[in-house]
């Protein structure tokens, strides 16, 4: 597999159709919740939130989006609320998550970054683990999707762990 690299640029209202369509596809797979257009729109203007389009570094084609919450959190705990890649398995997720971690710890002075992930989302869980996220526990049957209750895993990375992984 040739790994594709991705970069971030701030989401604009004109990108929301793309965001909603990508989100609907990921939701159909059972991996993310749906937000309304208004909720995304509010997040674009929220100084506590970062909402970025993920684009291919070479072609500048949109390949996903990512949302980070808690940029102004007094405890410096940032939440990786959502990441959706539209062309999965090509390396975009790994490429962009490394940049998101760098942003969180170096630009937004995070002490901790955390997320929740569906138990059956093996690709995402394996990617987060390989980037250094630590599993903290399982929220058993915490989300109802259709008629099914699904469990989620909480994962996090501390600044000290990020620094240790980043040093040569
Ligand atoms: C999860 C997601 C963000 C990952 O992005 P991606 O671009 O597909 O991921 P990448 O191609 O960078 O890397 C995926 C890694 O998982 C591995 N992988 C793929 N399928 C896997 C599986 N079923 N089980 C375990 N690992 C798997 C790949 O081998 C790769 O590892 P490598 O880099 O060591 O080769 C993306 O698939 C996505 O948006 N999925 C739908 C929405 C979603 O689940 N969002 C996350 C919610 S928490």
Query: Which atom of ligand 1 is nearest the CA belonging to 64?
Result: 39
Structural contact between residues 82 and 63, judged by C-beta atoms closer than 8 angstroms: no
Q: At residue 167, does pLDDT exceed 90?
A: no
Q: Which domains does the chain have, with CATH numbers?
A: 6-166 (3.40.630.30)
Question: What does the alpha-carbon distance between residue 44 and residue 24 come to, in Å, rounded to a whole number?
Answer: 19
Q: Whose CA is nearest to atom 21 of ligand 1?
A: 123
The predicted-structure confidence for 5-43, as pLDDT tens digits, reads as follows 999 999 999 999 999 999 999 999 999 999 999 999 999
**HSE-up of residue 102 (Cα within 13 Å, Cβ side):** 10
Assessment of whether the complete model's pTM goes beyond 0.75: yes
Tell me the CA–centroid distance for residue 127 and ligand 1, in Å: 6
CA distance 136 to 134: 6
- The predicted-structure confidence for 87-106, as pLDDT tens digits, reads as follows 999 999 999 999 999 999 99
- Which atom from ligand 1 is nearest to the alpha carbon of 124? 1
State pLDDT tens for residues 111-152.
Answer: 999 999 999 999 999 999 999 999 999 999 999 988 999 999
């Amino acid at each position: 597999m040739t790994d594709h690299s991705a970069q971030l640029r701030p989401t604009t209202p004109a990108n929301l159709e793309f965001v909603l369509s990508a989100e609907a596809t990921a939701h159909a797979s059972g991996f993310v919740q749906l937000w309304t257009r208004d909720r995304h729109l509010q997040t674009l203007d929220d100084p506590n939130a970062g909402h970025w389009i993920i684009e291919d570094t070479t072609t500048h084609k949109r390949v996903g989006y990512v949302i980070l919450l808690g940029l102004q959190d007094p405890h410096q705990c940032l939440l990786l609320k959502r990441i959706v890649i539209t062309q999965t398995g090509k390396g975009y997720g790994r490429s962009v998550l490394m940049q998101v971690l760098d942003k969180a710890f170096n630009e937004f002075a995070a002490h901790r970054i955390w997320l929740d992930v569906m138990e059956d989302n093996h690709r995402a869980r394996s990617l987060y683990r390989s980037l250094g996220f630590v599993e903290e526990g399982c929220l058993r049957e915490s989300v109802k999707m259709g008629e099914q209750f699904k469990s989620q895993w909480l994962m996090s990375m501390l600044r000290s762990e990020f620094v240790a992984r980043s040093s040569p």
